[in-house]
Structure 1
Protein backbone atom coordinates (compact mmCIF):
# COMPACT_ATOMS: atom_id res chain seq x y z
CA UNK A 1 0.00 0.00 0.00
CA UNK A 2 2.91 2.34 0.62
CA UNK A 3 3.80 2.07 -3.07
CA UNK A 4 0.29 3.27 -4.00
CA UNK A 5 0.17 6.21 -1.59
CA UNK A 6 3.70 7.26 -2.57
CA UNK A 7 2.77 7.29 -6.26
CA UNK A 8 -0.44 9.25 -5.62
CA UNK A 9 1.42 11.77 -3.46
CA UNK A 10 3.96 12.49 -6.18
CA UNK A 11 1.54 13.93 -8.74
CA UNK A 12 1.58 17.45 -10.12
CA UNK A 13 -1.86 18.67 -11.22
CA UNK A 14 -2.38 20.55 -14.46
CA UNK A 15 -4.99 23.16 -15.36
CA UNK A 16 -8.68 22.32 -15.49
CA UNK A 17 -10.08 21.76 -18.99
CA UNK A 18 -13.87 21.64 -19.24
CA UNK A 19 -16.51 21.01 -21.88
CA UNK A 20 -20.31 20.65 -21.54
CA UNK A 21 -20.36 19.45 -17.95
CA UNK A 22 -17.21 17.32 -18.05
CA UNK A 23 -13.94 18.59 -16.57
CA UNK A 24 -10.47 17.05 -16.70
CA UNK A 25 -7.45 17.85 -14.54
CA UNK A 26 -4.30 16.28 -16.05
CA UNK A 27 -1.91 14.44 -13.75
CA UNK A 28 1.84 14.54 -14.29
CA UNK A 29 4.40 12.27 -12.66
CA UNK A 30 7.15 9.76 -13.24
CA UNK A 31 6.88 7.76 -16.45
CA UNK A 32 8.66 4.66 -17.72
CA UNK A 33 8.64 2.83 -21.02
CA UNK A 34 5.97 0.11 -20.74
CA UNK A 35 7.31 -3.45 -20.66
CA UNK A 36 3.89 -4.84 -21.55
CA UNK A 37 1.45 -4.75 -24.44
CA UNK A 38 -2.04 -3.33 -24.17
CA UNK A 39 -4.95 -5.63 -24.99
CA UNK A 40 -5.73 -3.94 -28.31
CA UNK A 41 -2.08 -4.12 -29.41
CA UNK A 42 -1.86 -7.81 -28.55
CA UNK A 43 -5.12 -8.74 -30.28
CA UNK A 44 -4.38 -6.76 -33.45
CA UNK A 45 -0.88 -8.21 -33.71
CA UNK A 46 -2.31 -11.72 -33.48
CA UNK A 47 -0.01 -12.85 -30.68
CA UNK A 48 -2.91 -13.09 -28.22
CA UNK A 49 -6.59 -13.93 -28.38
CA UNK A 50 -9.64 -14.13 -26.15
CA UNK A 51 -12.04 -17.08 -26.34
CA UNK A 52 -15.12 -18.41 -24.65
CA UNK A 53 -14.02 -20.96 -22.04
CA UNK A 54 -15.93 -23.72 -23.86
CA UNK A 55 -18.44 -24.27 -26.66
CA UNK A 56 -21.30 -23.68 -24.23
CA UNK A 57 -19.51 -20.65 -22.74
CA UNK A 58 -19.59 -18.96 -19.35
CA UNK A 59 -21.08 -15.47 -19.02
CA UNK A 60 -18.58 -14.35 -16.39
CA UNK A 61 -15.38 -16.06 -17.51
CA UNK A 62 -13.24 -15.93 -20.63
CA UNK A 63 -9.95 -17.54 -21.62
CA UNK A 64 -7.07 -15.23 -22.44
CA UNK A 65 -4.25 -16.85 -24.41
CA UNK A 66 -0.99 -14.90 -24.55
CA UNK A 67 1.56 -16.12 -27.08
CA UNK A 68 3.34 -12.76 -26.99
CA UNK A 69 6.92 -12.26 -25.88
CA UNK A 70 5.74 -9.69 -23.32
CA UNK A 71 3.00 -9.58 -20.68
CA UNK A 72 -0.37 -8.14 -21.77
CA UNK A 73 -2.23 -5.56 -19.66
CA UNK A 74 -6.00 -6.02 -19.45
CA UNK A 75 -7.70 -2.95 -17.96
CA UNK A 76 -10.61 -2.71 -15.59
CA UNK A 77 -13.70 -1.79 -17.61
CA UNK A 78 -12.13 -2.41 -21.01
CA UNK A 79 -14.67 -3.81 -23.48
CA UNK A 80 -14.25 -6.58 -26.03
CA UNK A 81 -16.94 -7.31 -28.60
CA UNK A 82 -18.02 -10.49 -30.34
CA UNK A 83 -18.23 -14.23 -29.62
CA UNK A 84 -21.43 -15.01 -27.68
CA UNK A 85 -21.83 -11.54 -26.10
CA UNK A 86 -19.84 -8.39 -25.38
CA UNK A 87 -17.93 -8.31 -22.08
CA UNK A 88 -15.88 -5.91 -19.92
CA UNK A 89 -12.93 -6.75 -17.69
CA UNK A 90 -13.79 -6.92 -13.99
CA UNK A 91 -10.37 -5.65 -12.89
CA UNK A 92 -6.91 -4.87 -14.21
CA UNK A 93 -4.80 -7.96 -14.86
CA UNK A 94 -1.24 -8.34 -16.15
CA UNK A 95 -1.09 -11.66 -17.99
CA UNK A 96 2.38 -13.18 -18.13
CA UNK A 97 4.05 -13.80 -21.49
CA UNK A 98 3.53 -17.24 -23.03
CA UNK A 99 0.66 -18.13 -20.70
CA UNK A 100 -3.09 -18.74 -20.51
CA UNK A 101 -5.43 -17.35 -17.89
CA UNK A 102 -9.14 -17.51 -17.15
CA UNK A 103 -10.26 -13.94 -16.62
CA UNK A 104 -13.32 -12.63 -14.73
CA UNK A 105 -15.61 -10.48 -16.86
CA UNK A 106 -19.10 -9.00 -16.85
CA UNK A 107 -21.53 -9.16 -19.73
CA UNK A 108 -22.65 -5.79 -21.12
CA UNK A 109 -25.08 -7.21 -23.70
CA UNK A 110 -27.97 -8.96 -21.96
CA UNK A 111 -30.03 -9.84 -25.04
CA UNK A 112 -27.57 -11.98 -27.02
CA UNK A 113 -26.14 -15.45 -26.35
CA UNK A 114 -25.02 -16.60 -29.77
CA UNK A 115 -21.80 -16.34 -31.71
CA UNK A 116 -21.05 -13.13 -33.56
CA UNK A 117 -17.77 -14.45 -34.91
CA UNK A 118 -15.69 -16.99 -33.04
CA UNK A 119 -13.23 -14.57 -31.43
CA UNK A 120 -13.42 -11.28 -29.61
CA UNK A 121 -12.32 -7.99 -31.14
CA UNK A 122 -11.06 -4.90 -29.31
CA UNK A 123 -13.47 -2.02 -28.75
CA UNK A 124 -12.82 1.72 -28.61
CA UNK A 125 -15.10 1.92 -25.58
CA UNK A 126 -14.87 1.20 -21.87
CA UNK A 127 -17.55 0.60 -19.28
CA UNK A 128 -18.95 4.10 -18.61
CA UNK A 129 -17.66 5.58 -15.37
CA UNK A 130 -20.80 5.30 -13.22
CA UNK A 131 -21.35 1.66 -14.16
CA UNK A 132 -17.67 0.95 -13.72
CA UNK A 133 -17.75 2.43 -10.22
CA UNK A 134 -20.72 0.28 -9.19
CA UNK A 135 -19.15 -2.88 -10.61
CA UNK A 136 -15.82 -2.10 -8.92
CA UNK A 137 -17.56 -1.86 -5.54
CA UNK A 138 -19.14 -5.27 -6.09
CA UNK A 139 -15.85 -6.87 -7.14
CA UNK A 140 -13.95 -5.34 -4.20
CA UNK A 141 -16.53 -6.58 -1.71
CA UNK A 142 -16.45 -10.07 -3.21
CA UNK A 143 -12.65 -10.20 -3.05
CA UNK A 144 -12.78 -9.42 0.66
CA UNK A 145 -15.59 -11.85 1.42
CA UNK A 146 -14.82 -14.85 -0.76
CA UNK A 147 -11.69 -14.15 -2.86
CA UNK A 148 -14.00 -14.01 -5.90
CA UNK A 149 -13.44 -11.41 -8.62
CA UNK A 150 -17.04 -11.54 -9.82
CA UNK A 151 -19.51 -8.66 -10.03
CA UNK A 152 -23.28 -8.83 -9.62
CA UNK A 153 -24.24 -9.61 -13.22
CA UNK A 154 -27.89 -8.75 -12.70
CA UNK A 155 -26.95 -5.33 -11.33
CA UNK A 156 -24.59 -4.72 -14.26
CA UNK A 157 -27.41 -5.42 -16.74
CA UNK A 158 -29.89 -3.36 -14.71
CA UNK A 159 -27.47 -0.43 -14.59
CA UNK A 160 -27.11 -0.45 -18.38
CA UNK A 161 -30.88 -0.71 -18.88
CA UNK A 162 -31.54 2.25 -16.60
CA UNK A 163 -28.86 4.33 -18.27
CA UNK A 164 -30.27 3.72 -21.74
CA UNK A 165 -33.72 4.60 -20.48
CA UNK A 166 -32.46 7.88 -18.98
CA UNK A 167 -30.68 8.73 -22.22
CA UNK A 168 -33.69 7.66 -24.32
CA UNK A 169 -31.61 5.16 -26.31
CA UNK A 170 -32.57 1.71 -27.58
CA UNK A 171 -30.66 -1.49 -28.24
CA UNK A 172 -32.16 -4.75 -29.60
CA UNK A 173 -29.73 -6.77 -27.46
CA UNK A 174 -29.48 -4.31 -24.54
CA UNK A 175 -25.84 -3.73 -25.47
CA UNK A 176 -23.83 -0.99 -23.79
CA UNK A 177 -22.00 -0.63 -27.12
CA UNK A 178 -25.17 0.70 -28.73
CA UNK A 179 -25.32 3.57 -26.22
CA UNK A 180 -21.85 4.60 -27.36
CA UNK A 181 -22.54 4.02 -31.06
CA UNK A 182 -25.74 6.08 -30.98
CA UNK A 183 -23.94 8.91 -29.15
CA UNK A 184 -20.82 8.83 -31.33
CA UNK A 185 -21.03 12.34 -32.82
CA UNK A 186 -21.47 14.05 -29.49
CA UNK A 187 -18.84 11.89 -27.77
CA UNK A 188 -16.35 12.95 -30.42
CA UNK A 189 -16.85 16.61 -29.44
CA UNK A 190 -15.75 15.72 -25.90
CA UNK A 191 -12.70 13.87 -27.20
CA UNK A 192 -11.70 16.89 -29.30
CA UNK A 193 -12.21 19.31 -26.40
CA UNK A 194 -10.41 17.26 -23.72
CA UNK A 195 -7.22 16.32 -25.53
CA UNK A 196 -4.24 14.44 -24.18
CA UNK A 197 -1.58 16.78 -22.76
CA UNK A 198 2.09 16.04 -23.37
CA UNK A 199 3.67 14.03 -20.51
CA UNK A 200 0.27 13.32 -18.94
CA UNK A 201 0.13 10.04 -16.97
CA UNK A 202 -3.47 10.30 -15.78
CA UNK A 203 -6.36 12.57 -14.95
CA UNK A 204 -9.00 13.45 -12.41
CA UNK A 205 -12.46 13.92 -13.90
CA UNK A 206 -15.38 15.93 -12.60
CA UNK A 207 -18.97 16.06 -13.82
CA UNK A 208 -21.07 19.18 -13.18
CA UNK A 209 -18.90 20.31 -10.27
CA UNK A 210 -18.49 16.90 -8.59
CA UNK A 211 -15.27 14.88 -8.59
CA UNK A 212 -16.11 11.52 -10.16
CA UNK A 213 -12.92 9.57 -10.76
CA UNK A 214 -9.19 9.25 -11.23
CA UNK A 215 -7.19 7.21 -13.73
CA UNK A 216 -3.41 6.76 -13.65
CA UNK A 217 -0.79 4.67 -15.49
CA UNK A 218 2.93 4.11 -14.97
CA UNK A 219 3.66 5.40 -18.46
CA UNK A 220 2.65 8.47 -20.41
CA UNK A 221 2.74 6.23 -23.51
CA UNK A 222 0.12 3.93 -22.01
CA UNK A 223 -2.09 6.77 -20.85
CA UNK A 224 -1.93 8.48 -24.24
CA UNK A 225 -3.21 5.29 -25.90
CA UNK A 226 -6.07 4.93 -23.41
CA UNK A 227 -6.94 8.63 -23.08
CA UNK A 228 -9.79 8.77 -25.61
CA UNK A 229 -11.47 5.64 -24.21
CA UNK A 230 -11.32 7.10 -20.72
CA UNK A 231 -12.69 10.49 -21.81
CA UNK A 232 -15.58 8.75 -23.58
CA UNK A 233 -16.41 6.74 -20.48
CA UNK A 234 -16.87 9.89 -18.40
CA UNK A 235 -18.47 11.85 -21.25
CA UNK A 236 -21.28 9.30 -21.60
CA UNK A 237 -22.19 10.06 -17.99
CA UNK A 238 -21.85 13.82 -18.40
CA UNK A 239 -24.20 13.75 -21.41
CA UNK A 240 -27.18 12.52 -19.43
CA UNK A 241 -26.95 15.29 -16.82
CA UNK A 242 -29.35 18.15 -17.47
CA UNK A 243 -29.40 21.69 -16.20
CA UNK A 244 -26.84 24.41 -15.58
CA UNK A 245 -23.19 23.42 -15.73
CA UNK A 246 -21.30 23.79 -12.45
CA UNK A 247 -17.63 24.70 -12.31
CA UNK A 248 -15.12 22.01 -11.29
CA UNK A 249 -11.99 23.49 -9.74
CA UNK A 250 -8.40 22.43 -9.21
CA UNK A 251 -9.03 22.62 -5.46
CA UNK A 252 -11.81 20.03 -5.81
CA UNK A 253 -9.50 17.78 -7.81
CA UNK A 254 -6.83 18.07 -5.12
CA UNK A 255 -9.38 17.29 -2.41
CA UNK A 256 -10.49 14.14 -4.27
CA UNK A 257 -6.88 13.03 -4.74
CA UNK A 258 -6.29 13.50 -1.00
CA UNK A 259 -9.39 11.41 -0.23
CA UNK A 260 -8.01 8.59 -2.35
CA UNK A 261 -4.62 8.84 -0.62
CA UNK A 262 -6.28 8.74 2.82
CA UNK A 263 -8.52 5.77 1.95
CA UNK A 264 -8.03 2.36 3.53
CA UNK A 265 -6.37 -0.18 1.24
CA UNK A 266 -6.01 -3.95 1.22
CA UNK A 267 -3.75 -6.05 -0.98
CA UNK A 268 -4.38 -9.48 -2.49
CA UNK A 269 -2.44 -11.75 -4.80
CA UNK A 270 -3.29 -10.72 -8.35
CA UNK A 271 -4.79 -13.20 -10.80
CA UNK A 272 -1.83 -12.64 -13.10
CA UNK A 273 1.40 -10.88 -12.19
CA UNK A 274 1.78 -8.56 -9.21
CA UNK A 275 -0.47 -7.47 -6.35
CA UNK A 276 -4.10 -6.36 -6.53
CA UNK A 277 -4.63 -3.41 -4.16
CA UNK A 278 -8.23 -2.49 -3.40
CA UNK A 279 -9.12 1.03 -2.28
CA UNK A 280 -12.15 0.81 -0.01
CA UNK A 281 -13.39 3.92 1.79
CA UNK A 282 -16.93 5.11 2.49
CA UNK A 283 -16.98 7.47 -0.49
CA UNK A 284 -14.15 6.11 -2.68
CA UNK A 285 -13.72 2.74 -4.34
CA UNK A 286 -10.81 1.79 -6.53
CA UNK A 287 -8.20 -0.70 -7.52
CA UNK A 288 -4.50 -0.68 -8.34
CA UNK A 289 -2.18 -3.23 -9.90
CA UNK A 290 1.31 -3.14 -8.37
CA UNK A 291 4.14 -5.08 -9.97
CA UNK A 292 7.88 -4.95 -9.31
CA UNK A 293 7.49 -2.08 -6.86
CA UNK A 294 5.54 0.23 -9.17
CA UNK A 295 1.88 1.05 -9.73
CA UNK A 296 1.12 -0.12 -13.26
CA UNK A 297 -2.49 1.12 -13.25
CA UNK A 298 -4.81 2.73 -10.72
CA UNK A 299 -8.42 3.83 -10.99
CA UNK A 300 -10.65 5.23 -8.26
CA UNK A 301 -14.21 6.54 -8.26
CA UNK A 302 -16.43 8.66 -6.08
CA UNK A 303 -19.24 6.60 -4.56
CA UNK A 304 -22.31 8.44 -3.35
CA UNK A 305 -23.93 7.55 -0.05
CA UNK A 306 -27.07 6.45 -1.89
CA UNK A 307 -25.07 4.07 -4.07
CA UNK A 308 -23.37 2.57 -1.02
CA UNK A 309 -26.71 1.96 0.67
CA UNK A 310 -28.15 0.41 -2.50
CA UNK A 311 -25.16 -1.90 -2.91
CA UNK A 312 -25.34 -3.00 0.71
CA UNK A 313 -29.09 -3.67 0.45
CA UNK A 314 -28.58 -5.61 -2.77
CA UNK A 315 -25.90 -7.81 -1.19
CA UNK A 316 -28.08 -8.38 1.88
CA UNK A 317 -31.02 -9.41 -0.32
CA UNK A 318 -28.85 -11.86 -2.28
CA UNK A 319 -27.47 -13.30 0.95
CA UNK A 320 -31.02 -13.79 2.23
CA UNK A 321 -32.05 -15.54 -0.99
CA UNK A 322 -29.08 -17.90 -0.72
CA UNK A 323 -30.41 -19.04 2.64
CA UNK A 324 -33.83 -19.96 1.23
CA UNK A 325 -34.78 -23.35 -0.13
CA UNK A 326 -36.75 -23.62 -3.37
Structure 2
Protein backbone atom coordinates (compact mmCIF):
# COMPACT_ATOMS: atom_id res chain seq x y z
CA UNK A 1 0.00 0.00 0.00
CA UNK A 2 1.29 3.46 -0.94
CA UNK A 3 1.54 6.40 1.42
CA UNK A 4 -1.54 8.59 0.79
CA UNK A 5 -1.27 11.82 -1.19
CA UNK A 6 -1.71 14.70 1.27
CA UNK A 7 -2.47 18.39 0.81
CA UNK A 8 -1.34 20.92 3.43
CA UNK A 9 -3.22 24.02 4.51
CA UNK A 10 -2.12 27.18 6.30
CA UNK A 11 -0.69 26.70 9.78
CA UNK A 12 -2.26 28.16 12.93
CA UNK A 13 -0.55 28.84 16.23
CA UNK A 14 -1.76 27.09 19.41
CA UNK A 15 0.64 28.15 22.17
CA UNK A 16 4.07 26.74 21.22
CA UNK A 17 2.51 24.56 18.50
CA UNK A 18 1.99 25.35 14.83
CA UNK A 19 -0.88 23.19 13.59
CA UNK A 20 -1.28 22.48 9.86
CA UNK A 21 -4.49 20.97 8.40
CA UNK A 22 -4.24 18.01 6.03
CA UNK A 23 -6.57 16.73 3.33
CA UNK A 24 -6.03 13.34 1.68
CA UNK A 25 -6.63 11.98 -1.81
CA UNK A 26 -8.33 8.86 -0.57
CA UNK A 27 -11.96 7.77 -0.40
CA UNK A 28 -13.74 7.40 2.91
CA UNK A 29 -13.75 3.81 4.23
CA UNK A 30 -16.55 1.67 2.88
CA UNK A 31 -17.00 0.03 6.29
CA UNK A 32 -18.01 1.92 9.43
CA UNK A 33 -16.36 1.84 12.82
CA UNK A 34 -16.37 3.99 15.95
CA UNK A 35 -13.52 5.67 17.80
CA UNK A 36 -12.75 5.04 21.46
CA UNK A 37 -15.04 7.94 22.46
CA UNK A 38 -18.16 6.08 21.39
CA UNK A 39 -19.11 5.38 25.02
CA UNK A 40 -19.80 1.75 24.18
CA UNK A 41 -16.64 0.23 25.66
CA UNK A 42 -16.33 -1.59 28.96
CA UNK A 43 -12.71 -1.80 30.09
CA UNK A 44 -11.73 -4.00 33.02
CA UNK A 45 -8.81 -5.80 34.63
CA UNK A 46 -8.16 -9.47 33.90
CA UNK A 47 -10.57 -11.50 36.02
CA UNK A 48 -9.02 -13.12 39.07
CA UNK A 49 -5.48 -11.79 38.72
CA UNK A 50 -4.91 -8.36 37.12
CA UNK A 51 -1.89 -8.03 34.83
CA UNK A 52 0.01 -4.75 34.36
CA UNK A 53 0.38 -5.18 30.60
CA UNK A 54 -3.13 -6.39 29.75
CA UNK A 55 -6.73 -5.20 29.99
CA UNK A 56 -10.00 -6.70 28.77
CA UNK A 57 -12.01 -4.44 26.45
CA UNK A 58 -15.61 -5.30 25.54
CA UNK A 59 -17.31 -3.50 22.65
CA UNK A 60 -21.04 -3.19 23.31
CA UNK A 61 -21.77 -1.14 20.17
CA UNK A 62 -23.26 -2.28 16.87
CA UNK A 63 -20.07 -1.36 14.97
CA UNK A 64 -16.38 -2.18 15.45
CA UNK A 65 -14.37 0.21 17.66
CA UNK A 66 -10.80 1.29 16.91
CA UNK A 67 -8.36 1.85 19.78
CA UNK A 68 -5.03 3.51 18.98
CA UNK A 69 -1.65 3.44 20.69
CA UNK A 70 -1.59 6.27 23.23
CA UNK A 71 -5.31 6.16 24.04
CA UNK A 72 -5.58 6.50 27.83
CA UNK A 73 -7.63 4.13 29.97
CA UNK A 74 -7.96 5.71 33.41
CA UNK A 75 -8.74 4.13 36.76
CA UNK A 76 -8.66 0.41 37.44
CA UNK A 77 -5.69 -0.76 39.45
CA UNK A 78 -3.56 1.86 37.67
CA UNK A 79 -3.84 4.19 34.67
CA UNK A 80 -2.81 2.55 31.39
CA UNK A 81 -2.21 3.53 27.77
CA UNK A 82 -3.03 1.35 24.77
CA UNK A 83 0.29 -0.08 23.53
CA UNK A 84 -0.75 -1.04 20.00
CA UNK A 85 -3.79 -0.43 17.80
CA UNK A 86 -6.70 -2.85 17.77
CA UNK A 87 -10.06 -2.89 15.96
CA UNK A 88 -12.57 -4.71 18.17
CA UNK A 89 -15.60 -6.34 16.56
CA UNK A 90 -19.13 -5.40 17.62
CA UNK A 91 -20.16 -7.42 20.67
CA UNK A 92 -16.68 -8.87 21.12
CA UNK A 93 -14.14 -8.79 23.95
CA UNK A 94 -10.40 -8.53 23.39
CA UNK A 95 -7.41 -8.78 25.70
CA UNK A 96 -5.43 -5.69 24.67
CA UNK A 97 -1.79 -4.85 25.28
CA UNK A 98 -1.25 -1.78 27.43
CA UNK A 99 1.54 0.07 29.24
CA UNK A 100 1.22 1.44 32.77
CA UNK A 101 1.52 5.23 33.12
CA UNK A 102 1.10 5.27 36.93
CA UNK A 103 3.67 3.06 38.60
CA UNK A 104 2.97 4.24 42.17
CA UNK A 105 -0.45 2.56 42.45
CA UNK A 106 -1.61 -1.06 42.21
CA UNK A 107 -5.04 -0.99 43.82
CA UNK A 108 -8.53 0.32 43.26
CA UNK A 109 -11.57 -0.54 41.19
CA UNK A 110 -11.67 -3.22 38.52
CA UNK A 111 -13.13 -1.04 35.77
CA UNK A 112 -11.26 1.59 33.77
CA UNK A 113 -12.72 4.94 32.69
CA UNK A 114 -12.41 5.74 29.00
CA UNK A 115 -12.48 9.54 28.63
CA UNK A 116 -11.13 9.68 25.08
CA UNK A 117 -7.81 11.22 26.15
CA UNK A 118 -4.39 10.50 24.64
CA UNK A 119 -0.75 10.65 25.63
CA UNK A 120 1.52 13.16 23.93
CA UNK A 121 3.82 12.21 21.03
CA UNK A 122 6.83 11.47 23.28
CA UNK A 123 4.96 8.76 25.16
CA UNK A 124 3.32 7.55 21.95
CA UNK A 125 6.81 6.98 20.56
CA UNK A 126 7.40 4.50 23.38
CA UNK A 127 4.19 2.64 22.62
CA UNK A 128 4.55 1.85 18.92
CA UNK A 129 6.77 2.38 15.91
CA UNK A 130 10.55 2.14 15.61
CA UNK A 131 11.14 3.87 18.98
CA UNK A 132 8.86 1.49 20.88
CA UNK A 133 10.14 0.87 24.42
CA UNK A 134 9.69 -1.48 27.34
CA UNK A 135 7.58 -0.77 30.44
CA UNK A 136 10.50 0.67 32.43
CA UNK A 137 11.18 3.13 29.59
CA UNK A 138 7.56 4.29 29.69
CA UNK A 139 7.87 4.85 33.45
CA UNK A 140 11.10 6.78 32.90
CA UNK A 141 9.29 8.97 30.39
CA UNK A 142 6.51 9.67 32.90
CA UNK A 143 9.14 10.47 35.56
CA UNK A 144 10.53 13.12 33.21
CA UNK A 145 7.49 15.27 33.88
CA UNK A 146 8.37 15.46 37.59
CA UNK A 147 11.28 17.71 36.59
CA UNK A 148 8.78 20.28 35.29
CA UNK A 149 7.79 21.64 38.72
CA UNK A 150 5.17 18.92 39.01
CA UNK A 151 4.71 16.08 41.47
CA UNK A 152 2.30 13.16 41.63
CA UNK A 153 1.89 10.87 44.64
CA UNK A 154 1.49 7.88 42.34
CA UNK A 155 3.88 8.93 39.52
CA UNK A 156 0.84 9.40 37.28
CA UNK A 157 0.90 10.78 33.74
CA UNK A 158 -2.84 11.41 34.09
CA UNK A 159 -2.18 13.77 37.02
CA UNK A 160 0.23 15.73 34.84
CA UNK A 161 -2.23 15.87 31.95
CA UNK A 162 -4.94 17.10 34.33
CA UNK A 163 -2.67 19.94 35.44
CA UNK A 164 -1.76 20.95 31.90
CA UNK A 165 -5.39 20.93 30.78
CA UNK A 166 -6.38 23.13 33.74
CA UNK A 167 -3.69 25.67 32.83
CA UNK A 168 -4.19 25.54 29.08
CA UNK A 169 -5.51 28.61 27.32
CA UNK A 170 -8.53 27.80 25.17
CA UNK A 171 -7.93 27.75 21.41
CA UNK A 172 -10.39 28.48 18.63
CA UNK A 173 -8.37 26.40 16.13
CA UNK A 174 -10.63 23.58 14.99
CA UNK A 175 -10.59 21.09 12.08
CA UNK A 176 -11.71 22.60 8.77
CA UNK A 177 -14.32 21.17 6.39
CA UNK A 178 -13.11 17.91 4.88
CA UNK A 179 -9.90 17.88 6.90
CA UNK A 180 -8.82 14.35 7.88
CA UNK A 181 -5.34 14.91 9.27
CA UNK A 182 -2.92 17.28 10.94
CA UNK A 183 0.76 18.08 11.20
CA UNK A 184 1.76 19.30 14.66
CA UNK A 185 4.99 21.30 14.77
CA UNK A 186 6.98 23.14 17.43
CA UNK A 187 10.25 25.05 17.66
CA UNK A 188 10.31 25.48 13.89
CA UNK A 189 9.97 21.83 12.81
CA UNK A 190 7.27 19.14 12.45
CA UNK A 191 6.82 16.80 15.42
CA UNK A 192 4.16 14.47 14.09
CA UNK A 193 1.69 13.80 11.30
CA UNK A 194 -1.57 11.99 11.92
CA UNK A 195 -4.27 11.01 9.42
CA UNK A 196 -7.68 9.58 10.36
CA UNK A 197 -10.24 7.65 8.33
CA UNK A 198 -12.79 10.48 8.21
CA UNK A 199 -13.28 14.10 9.16
CA UNK A 200 -15.53 13.05 12.05
CA UNK A 201 -12.80 10.78 13.47
CA UNK A 202 -10.36 13.69 13.45
CA UNK A 203 -12.90 15.96 15.16
CA UNK A 204 -13.43 13.39 17.92
CA UNK A 205 -9.68 13.03 18.51
CA UNK A 206 -8.82 16.72 18.15
CA UNK A 207 -8.90 18.01 21.73
CA UNK A 208 -7.03 14.98 23.09
CA UNK A 209 -4.43 15.16 20.32
CA UNK A 210 -3.72 18.86 20.88
CA UNK A 211 -3.73 18.53 24.70
CA UNK A 212 -1.19 15.71 24.52
CA UNK A 213 1.12 17.74 22.28
CA UNK A 214 0.80 20.79 24.55
CA UNK A 215 1.71 18.60 27.53
CA UNK A 216 4.93 17.58 25.79
CA UNK A 217 5.87 21.14 24.83
CA UNK A 218 5.11 22.89 28.12
CA UNK A 219 7.76 25.57 28.61
CA UNK A 220 8.80 25.54 24.94
CA UNK A 221 8.91 29.02 23.41
CA UNK A 222 6.40 29.87 20.72
CA UNK A 223 8.16 29.77 17.34
CA UNK A 224 6.09 29.64 14.17
CA UNK A 225 7.03 26.73 11.91
CA UNK A 226 7.31 27.72 8.24
CA UNK A 227 5.08 25.77 5.86
CA UNK A 228 8.03 24.94 3.58
CA UNK A 229 9.42 22.62 6.27
CA UNK A 230 6.11 20.80 6.51
CA UNK A 231 5.95 20.42 2.72
CA UNK A 232 9.52 19.09 2.70
CA UNK A 233 8.66 16.65 5.49
CA UNK A 234 5.65 15.30 3.60
CA UNK A 235 7.47 15.22 0.24
CA UNK A 236 10.02 12.88 1.81
CA UNK A 237 7.25 10.42 2.63
CA UNK A 238 5.73 10.11 -0.85
CA UNK A 239 7.78 7.04 -1.82
CA UNK A 240 6.99 5.14 1.38
CA UNK A 241 5.42 1.70 1.09
CA UNK A 242 3.10 0.63 3.91
CA UNK A 243 3.58 -3.04 4.74
CA UNK A 244 1.41 -5.29 6.93
CA UNK A 245 3.18 -6.58 10.04
CA UNK A 246 0.64 -8.03 12.50
CA UNK A 247 -3.03 -8.54 13.24
CA UNK A 248 -4.81 -5.74 15.10
CA UNK A 249 -8.12 -7.37 15.96
CA UNK A 250 -10.27 -7.17 12.83
CA UNK A 251 -7.64 -5.00 11.16
CA UNK A 252 -3.91 -5.23 10.45
CA UNK A 253 -1.06 -3.07 11.64
CA UNK A 254 1.15 -1.53 8.94
CA UNK A 255 4.55 0.17 9.06
CA UNK A 256 6.32 2.42 6.60
CA UNK A 257 9.29 1.09 4.66
CA UNK A 258 11.62 2.49 2.02
CA UNK A 259 13.06 5.94 1.60
CA UNK A 260 11.65 7.08 4.94
CA UNK A 261 14.46 5.17 6.69
CA UNK A 262 16.93 7.93 5.89
CA UNK A 263 14.49 10.59 7.10
CA UNK A 264 14.50 9.22 10.64
CA UNK A 265 10.75 8.87 10.81
CA UNK A 266 8.63 6.32 12.63
CA UNK A 267 5.64 5.39 10.46
CA UNK A 268 2.78 3.15 11.60
CA UNK A 269 -0.86 2.73 10.71
CA UNK A 270 -3.94 0.54 10.62
CA UNK A 271 -5.39 -1.14 7.51
CA UNK A 272 -8.83 -2.73 7.37
CA UNK A 273 -9.89 -4.67 4.28
CA UNK A 274 -7.17 -2.98 2.22
CA UNK A 275 -8.25 0.51 3.32
CA UNK A 276 -6.01 2.76 5.42
CA UNK A 277 -8.01 3.88 8.46
CA UNK A 278 -5.23 5.50 10.52
CA UNK A 279 -1.67 6.75 10.00
CA UNK A 280 0.89 8.16 12.44
CA UNK A 281 4.31 9.60 11.54
CA UNK A 282 6.73 10.76 14.24
CA UNK A 283 9.72 12.92 13.27
CA UNK A 284 12.55 11.35 15.26
CA UNK A 285 14.90 14.19 14.35
CA UNK A 286 12.86 16.70 16.31
CA UNK A 287 14.40 18.03 19.53
CA UNK A 288 11.35 16.70 21.38
CA UNK A 289 12.60 13.13 20.83
CA UNK A 290 16.31 13.86 21.36
CA UNK A 291 16.46 12.15 24.78
CA UNK A 292 13.54 9.79 24.17
CA UNK A 293 15.39 7.39 21.86
TM (normalized to structure 1)?
0.80
| 1:95 aligns with one of 88, 98, 102 | 88
Residues 201, 101 of structure 1: alpha-carbon distance in 2 compared, 3 angstrom cutoff = same
Please tell me whether residue 74 in structure 1 is matched to residue 74 in structure 2.
no
CA distance in 2, matches of 1:240, 1:124: 25
| 1:185 aligns with one of 148, 166, 176 | 166
Please tell me whether residue 211 in structure 1 is matched to residue 203 in structure 2.
no
Counterpart of 1:301?
282
Please tell me whether residue 13 in structure 1 is matched to residue 21 in structure 2.
no
Counterpart of 1:194?
173
Please tell me whether residue 60 in structure 1 is matched to residue 53 in structure 2.
yes
Shift of 1:227: 0.8
Residues 25, 120 of structure 1: alpha-carbon distance in 2 compared, 3 angstrom cutoff = same
Q: Any idea what the Cα deviations from partners look like across 1:62-109, whole Å, max 9, x if unmatched?
A: 111223321111122110101101111112211122222111111111
Q: Any idea what the Cα deviations from partners look like across 1:259-299, whole Å, max 9, x if unmatched?
A: 33344644223231122112363511121101122111111
Shift of 1:310: 6.9
1:288–1:298: 8 Å Cα contact kept in structure 2?
A: yes
| 2:142 aligns with one of 160, 168, 183 | 160
CA distance in 2, matches of 1:62, 1:264: 32
1:123-142 matches, cutoff 5 A: 123-137=115-129
1:108–1:157: 8 Å Cα contact kept in structure 2?
A: yes
Number of residue pairs aligned between Structure 1 and Structure 2: 286
Please tell me whether residue 250 in structure 1 is matched to residue 227 in structure 2.
yes
CA distance in 2, matches of 1:305, 1:23: 14
CA distance in 1, matches of 2:10, 2:208: 21
TM (normalized to structure 2)?
0.89
Identify the structure with the greater helix proportion. 1
Residues 239, 309 of structure 1: alpha-carbon distance in 2 compared, 3 angstrom cutoff = closer
| 1:286 aligns with one of 243, 247, 267 | 267
Counterpart of 1:143?
none
Counterpart of 2:28?
32
Counterpart of 1:314?
none
2:161–2:212: 8 Å Cα contact kept in structure 1?
A: no
Q: Please tell me the root mean square deviation across aligned C-alpha atoms, in Å.
A: 2.3
Residues 118, 96 of structure 1: alpha-carbon distance in 2 compared, 3 angstrom cutoff = same
Unaligned 5+ runs, structure 1: 141-150, 312-326
